[in-house]
Structure 1
């Protein structure tokens, strides 16, 4: 007796069918700008057929209609019209859909080897982010790139206005040796907004460990410097780099003027140079730049005027945020805005720059730059860091930025408390959390907009 065994089902195929159905159903979602062109192509086929018939004096149309009528009559004898009609319609639509899908698949196979799924997801993401608010961020350093990393999940209409006062490290060397504007903060923002963020960040942050004149330079700085030489200036270099890296949004320098920061300390010293201010370790009582009134980049002003939302910070108060406001037209454009503006305060004080500063001290420092309040509210970390992290930071002279409610009340400053911190338990490092920060900022914006 022959034993017949059942062949086991391919469970992967059974599981993939519902998944494929859900994936294909995404094509029915509105806003892809695909279905309308498929319908338009159907109309084109019908009109083309009609045009051919008219051009040959309608003779085939008459006989064709007669033939179709006879076929329909014969078909109706065997299959009722309420069954044959939908059946023929379904076959026709299926053939049309199959032809369009195969055409789209052939294009996708060349442009996106990963397949139709990636293309569809990219279309959905592109349409969703394209409808996001026009957000302008103002700042510099690692704080701004951290913010951009989270914001790009909510909108592709992002403009990062970046300070041009950096004169330390690789940027400072290139500035002194070649005469280019400092590319460091621009590099960080471009990497943060890139689609392939992790790879681009690793590439741009890579620092050469050997080579005559290369040691200490980051690849990203050299890349932007070379692009500046090729395109003619930093603005065009950034635009070309943005295209190459496929970033979401745009990065703009606050000014193309060669700016040098200066600061007056409480002990009477006058420190010149952004990198020297922090190293001086004194209390900053006044800050400015040389030349005193740098010209703002016109595109940066246009972005601020068209913005739906403006965010100041996070970042070093005196060396990343305030330098942008020392460009008079930038500060004026923010002051005359017609949209919400919020300031993201640092979680910890910065040694040599904001020693012992409270939230109200940060607010006063920003108010003093332009003479009036430039933002509607300040966002502050709600819960303090762990004791282990506080002990580690205390060794370097850094403490949490205290929320002094009484002073803030006197300043009539609105405070938003939220959990926006990323604390690494292994290294006890404290940073803003990109996703938490972006979520809170967009939630506040939605609430303000609905009022």
Structure 2
């Protein structure tokens, strides 16, 4: 190119660039490099370890080879002889026309391209059926599935919005999650169904199922939908009606949850702490005895004791099995006296947690709750759980968790003022008292403050990340401790 024509080339290039930016879709086919490189990257993902695909492809290829050899031997090696003769003449003819340094690489590249093209079309056909929306590659779905099913076995104990918030974050780290929830609710839609039909309250179970479902956003909206009108329907949640109907079809709530989990493609399982028809009662500092979960918070008194009527309900066997097989046990977050402690009042569950040797942690609430924990500190939350889990044989408090997650950052002044009007305040962190209670402290920021509504919640993703990091450290400490004990014995 001459120097005089160089400016013309620059102007032409600028014009082409302007045209392409104006009509990107029209000329997108001229620049397939990015798409092609992405496709190649997707293909390399099939070579990732643990996908359980490569071994079966190799086994299939070996099967084809053995089948061919078996057929050839059975027919006296005649097919192999004729095949080799044909290949000899065919390859000789090709190399006579085209030199081998050209024909060899050409055939090699053509063969690889045909393999990739055929496999790509086959996988596209499968993907179009399994994932018609096309929002995810099949290999990505398989890799994610394998990763989640290799995750730790986590048992989360609680109820209400706190537990569902936690589950929403945990399901990105493991599919081996068991949520154990209380069935003492007697208010709202759950309470009406309990009184009118006689089913166990499905409210907390509904929240957890929606949180663990794959299509969480849509299902949460559907399950949380409340009918605004209709004789007998107004105020009812669709999810509660769904679980009630499924209980009638399946026979009991446990089977209904299992069937619903399959319908909703839930990652993990949700289990009630007990299948007994139990009711909460509480003794207040002023001497009153309050019956019913919804009445306890409305009484606006200081709770000094809480229990079940009838007492000592049997635990669900699957819940006990999940605790025994767990790698990690998380208690909370949630309403202390009406969501967290009711699960621990099932003595078999408390015994199973107390005897577990895996990492155990409690997620303390960020704000106090009127009628339950007004004026409570972090240590007060811990003491309440210890009191509720008294060992009936030794009359001693049992330590059900080794560490506690405490919120570091204080909410904004606007949020504090807003919550103070409702009788709520930030839970005070009394470090020295917590240390005296023998708990390790995970002091971090796990708060999500909605700037529009001013609502304060745990951030599901941040909380799950913090909990999994602490679990990894606890596992390492346990491994180092076991190694040290072996050295001492030796």
* Aligned counterpart for 2:455 among listed residues 413, 424, 429: 429
SS at match of 2:137: helix
* Aligned counterpart for 2:425 among listed residues 380, 391, 399: 399
Distance 2:213 2:266 in 1: 4
How much does 1:85 deviate?
5.3
The residue that corresponds to 1:189 in the other structure is: 208
Distance 2:208 2:422 in 1: 27
* Aligned counterpart for 1:163 among listed residues 166, 182, 204: 182
CA RMSD of aligned residues (A): 2.1
How much does 1:20 deviate?
2.7
State which drifts further: 224-233 or 7-16: 7-16
* Aligned counterpart for 2:28 among listed residues 1, 4, 11: 11
* Aligned counterpart for 1:68 among listed residues 63, 87, 105: 87
Indicate how the Cα distance of structure 1 residues 447 and 81 shifts in structure 2: closer, same or farther if over 3 A, else same. farther
Indicate how the Cα distance of structure 1 residues 42 and 99 shifts in structure 2: closer, same or farther if over 3 A, else same. farther
TM-score by length of 2: 0.87
| Structure 1 residues 15-414: aligned runs within 5 Å | 15-75=34-94, 88-115=107-134, 117-370=136-389, 371-414=397-440
Indicate how the Cα distance of structure 1 residues 268 and 169 shifts in structure 2: closer, same or farther if over 3 A, else same. same
How much does 1:434 deviate?
0.5
SS at match of 1:28: coil
| Unpaired runs of at least 5, structure 2 | 1-11, 21-25, 390-396, 478-490
How much does 1:108 deviate?
2.0
> Is 1:105–1:116's contact at 8 Å kept on the other side of the alignment?
no
Distance 1:196 1:270 in 2: 43
TM-score by length of 1: 0.94
State which drifts further: 144-153 or 73-82: 73-82
State which drifts further: 74-83 or 39-48: 74-83
Indicate how the Cα distance of structure 1 residues 80 and 308 shifts in structure 2: closer, same or farther if over 3 A, else same. farther
Indicate how the Cα distance of structure 1 residues 427 and 312 shifts in structure 2: closer, same or farther if over 3 A, else same. same
How much does 1:75 deviate?
4.7
Aligned length: 448
> Is 2:305–2:388's contact at 8 Å kept on the other side of the alignment?
no
| Unpaired runs of at least 5, structure 1 | none
How much does 1:417 deviate?
0.7
The residue that corresponds to 2:480 in the other structure is: none
